[in-house]
């Protein structure tokens, strides 16, 4: 990696070549992965090492990256970037690079490098034994352990010098459950923005056991009927993921620039008054949090929707320039091989005032979703329910499977008629969201809520 002085020289070169703004994003990252089925399948050590050079001129941007980190190679990268940008000369000066300080919301007790592979393998061995004890319907389970120690250094021509060290730990369970009713397999993660202390509580085991039992339960569940019915989303990731897919991406500058449905509707009512939606990258101990965003700006809490009124967007530097919007500390990227883009971090629905149990009792007939398997956002969104129950006369009646929740964000959010009081964070610690700037760690949270009518797709005929 280049020194601060060398980096200053490279940034100045970029401005001399006509860029309005220049940034260097250095990344040095070490991951360990262990794959385990009946035994240790393999162990891998991973080293990511490279730099991204970002130049902006007017509303145009160029991103060049390489894993050749010598000063000469970087100089050539900047020259290439300027050529691509089509600029020639400039006379701006780089402001003195000053180290920025910001609170780390995710302190680490035990760094991955301080823990031997034997302990990491023992973790998986213990999980494997616990899995086999859950049910005889478990045919096999693949487990994987991942830890990551990422060092990021950002320099930019506005004088920002930001350093961050981000550690995450994760286990992945991929059970295969089958019985006379059928077979099913999907993966689930347990993760935290922390070191090996993540696993000291044993919550990852409890989570895995719950997933296996849910999978077994789905085999004998009835097929969900196609219907338009009230849908209750359990507090935690169900509620948060709904907003993530229904409107979250549409509030990021990448989508706004592509003619997203919410541009520019600030001040307009886009949801019921029960909806206050927040994205906050400062939340302590949350998977989507960090000291800075990937453009060196301190993270912040962004109120996106307040009592149904659209208030703000998630904005990165280039998106902000093009749309004339202030940045929101949301410039994020998967790694140095991706240009930053505005992305969600920890997205949650603020608690409401409705009684959580009354939400179910007050529903004559509908669907109660307690786990989602993923989804897609856009003008239309979709969410796959992996654990869902049919409600009849205000009570949970039977388990259903194969329910696909569909809708349009701008329509469905106007049908949220109940929001519970109890705030629940994402039960498995977090997940990954994929978009143009790569896969970023996120969480989705919130209280239990009800949508008065939603399209549900399924194979169980029509209700």
Partner 1 sequence: MIQLDRFDQTFSRLQTGVDAAELNAERIDETSLSIEGGEIRHCKSFSQTKLYVRATAGRTGMVYTEKLDESPEELVRRAAENARFSTALDPEPMRRDGSCVLVRPHEMASVDEMKQFGARAEKIALSLERVATVIDCTVSDRARENCVLNSYGFHAGCSSGYVQAELTIAAKRKGEPAIGTARISGNAISSLEAETLVKMAVNDAALYDGGGLKPQAFASGSYDAVLTGRVMRNILMTAWMGLSKQNMVRGGSVFQSTSGERIGSDAFNIINTPTHSLLGQSWQIDSEGTECKETVLVDHGRLVTPLTTLSSAKGASTGSAGRVDQMTGNVPIRLTTVPANLFIVPDANGDARTLVQQMGTGLLVTYSLDLFHSVNVTSGEYSIPCGGVWYQNGEPIGTVALATMAGNVRDLWGAIERVGADLDFDEFYFKTYCIGSPSALVRGVTIGC
CB of 345 to partner 1, least distance (A): 14
Task: Choose one: 42-50, 106-114, 192-200, 387-395; the region binding partner 1 (CB under 8 A).
Answer: 42-50
Is 455 a binding residue for partner 1 by CB under 8 A? The answer is yes
Task: Choose one: 55-63, 193-201, 267-275, 344-352; the region binding partner 1 (CB under 8 A).
Answer: 55-63
Instruction: Select from 61, 329, 331, 420 the one that contacts partner 1 (CB under 8 A).
Output: 61
**Tokens standing for residue 156:** 């930019």
CB of 151 to partner 1, least distance (A): 13
Residues 11-40 within binding reach of partner 1 (CB under 8 A): 28, 31, 33-35, 39-40
* Pair 293, 299: CB distance under 8 Å: yes
Is 264 a binding residue for partner 1 by CB under 8 A? The answer is no
Burial of 368 (0-12, 13-18, 19+ CB in 10 A): buried
CB of 285 to partner 1, least distance (A): 20
- Tell me how many degrees the CA angle 371-372-375 measures, rounded to the nearest 5: 170
Residues 274-313 within binding reach of partner 1 (CB under 8 A): none
Task: Choose one: 2-10, 18-26, 106-114, 138-146; the region binding partner 1 (CB under 8 A).
Answer: 138-146
Is 265 a binding residue for partner 1 by CB under 8 A? The answer is no
Is 81 a binding residue for partner 1 by CB under 8 A? The answer is yes
Is 339 a binding residue for partner 1 by CB under 8 A? The answer is yes
Residues 228-257 within binding reach of partner 1 (CB under 8 A): none
Instruction: Select from 2, 19, 24, 62 the one that contacts partner 1 (CB under 8 A).
Output: 62
Instruction: Select from 79, 130, 303, 337 the one that contacts partner 1 (CB under 8 A).
Output: 337
Question: CB within 8 A of 350, min separation 6: which ones?
Answer: 276, 277, 278, 423, 446
Instruction: Select from 6, 12, 66, 135 the one that contacts partner 1 (CB under 8 A).
Output: 66
Instruction: Select from 374, 392, 395, 398 the one that contacts partner 1 (CB under 8 A).
Output: 374
Q: Which is nearer to partner 1, 38 or 268 (CB)?
A: 38
Is 358 a binding residue for partner 1 by CB under 8 A? The answer is no
**DSSP letters of 189-238?**
EEEESS-GGGGTT-HHHHHHHHHHHHHHHHHTSEEPPBEEEEEEE-TTHH
Q: Which is nearer to partner 1, 226 or 312 (CB)?
A: 226
Instruction: Select from 6, 12, 18, 43 the one that contacts partner 1 (CB under 8 A).
Output: 43
Sign of CA dihedral 397, 399, 402, 406: positive
Q: Which is nearer to partner 1, 80 or 165 (CB)?
A: 80
Among residues 134, 11, 32, 133, the alpha carbon closest in space to that of 82 is found at: 11
Task: Choose one: 15-23, 195-203, 301-309, 432-440; the region binding partner 1 (CB under 8 A).
Answer: 432-440
Is 407 a binding residue for partner 1 by CB under 8 A? The answer is yes
| Segment holding 7, helix H or strand E | helix 4-16
**Tokens standing for residue 240:** 């948060």
Question: CB within 8 A of 351, min separation 6: which ones?
Answer: 419, 420, 421, 422, 423, 446, 447
Residues 166-205 within binding reach of partner 1 (CB under 8 A): 172, 176, 178, 182-187, 189
Is 49 a binding residue for partner 1 by CB under 8 A? The answer is yes
Is 83 a binding residue for partner 1 by CB under 8 A? The answer is yes
What number of CA atoms fall less than 13 Å from residue 126's CA on the CB side?
15
Distance CA 300, CA 314 (A): 11
* Pair 303, 311: CB distance under 8 Å: yes
Is 452 a binding residue for partner 1 by CB under 8 A? The answer is no
Is 324 a binding residue for partner 1 by CB under 8 A? The answer is no
* Pair 205, 133: CB distance under 8 Å: no
Cα 403 to Cα 139, 384, 388, 458: the distances in Å are 25, 6, 8, 5
CB of 374 to partner 1, least distance (A): 4
CB of 70 to partner 1, least distance (A): 9
Report helix, strand or coil for 414: helix
Report helix, strand or coil for 248: helix
């Amino acid at each position: 990696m280049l020194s601060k002085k060398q980096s200053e020289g490279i940034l100045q070169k970029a401005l001399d070549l006509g860029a309005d703004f220049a940034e260097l994003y250095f990344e040095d990252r070490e991951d360990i992965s262990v794959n385990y089925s009946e035994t240790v399948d393999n162990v891998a050590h991973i080293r990511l090492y490279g730099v991204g050079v970002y130049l902006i001129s007017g509303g145009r941007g160029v991103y060049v990256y390489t894993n050749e980190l010598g000063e000469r190679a970087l100089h050539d990268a900047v020259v290439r970037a300027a050529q691509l940008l089509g600029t020639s000369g400039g006379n701006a000066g780089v402001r003195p690079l000053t180290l920025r300080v910001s609170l780390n919301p995710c302190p680490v007790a035990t760094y991955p490098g301080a823990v031997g592979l034997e302990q990491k393998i023992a973790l998986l061995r213990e999980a494997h034994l616990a899995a086999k004890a859950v049910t005889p319907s478990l045919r096999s389970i693949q487990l994987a352990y991942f830890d990551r120690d990422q060092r990021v250094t950002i320099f930019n021509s506005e004088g920002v010098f930001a350093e961050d060290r981000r550690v995450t730990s994760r286990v992945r369970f991929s059970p295969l459950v089958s019985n006379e009713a059928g077979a099913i397999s999907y993966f689930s993660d347990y993760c935290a923005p922390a070191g090996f202390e993540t696993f000291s509580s044993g919550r990852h085991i409890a989570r895995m056991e719950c997933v296996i039992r849910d999978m077994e339960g789905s085999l004998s569940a009835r097929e969900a009927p196609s219907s338009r019915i009230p849908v209750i989303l359990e507090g935690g990731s169900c509620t948060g993921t709904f907003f993530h897919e229904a409107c979250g991406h549409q509030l990021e500058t990448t989508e706004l620039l592509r003619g997203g449905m919410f541009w520019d509707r600030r001040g307009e009512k886009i949801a019921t008054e029960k909806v206050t939606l927040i994205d906050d990258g400062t939340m302590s101990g949350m998977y989507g949090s960090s000291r800075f965003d990937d453009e060196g700006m301190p993270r912040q809490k962004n109120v996106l929707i307040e009592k149904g009124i659209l208030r703000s967007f998630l904005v990165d530097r280039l998106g902000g320039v093009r749309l004339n919007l202030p940045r929101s500390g949301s410039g994020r990227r998967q790694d140095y091989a991706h240009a930053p883009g505005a992305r969600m971090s920890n997205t949650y629905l603020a608690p409401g005032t409705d009684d959580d149990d009354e939400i179910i009792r007050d529903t004559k007939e509908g669907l109660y979703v307690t786990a989602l398997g993923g989804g897609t956002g856009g003008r239309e969104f979709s969410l796959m329910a992996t654990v869902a129950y049919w409600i009849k006369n205000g009570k949970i009646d039977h388990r259903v499977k194969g329910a696909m929740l569909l809708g349009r964000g701008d329509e469905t959010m106007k049908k949220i008629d109940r929001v519970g009081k109890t705030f629940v964070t994402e039960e498995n610690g977090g997940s990954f969201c994929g978009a143009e700037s790569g896969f970023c760690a996120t969480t989705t949270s919130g209280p239990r809520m009800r949508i008065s009518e939603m399209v549900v797709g399924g194979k169980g005929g029509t209700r």
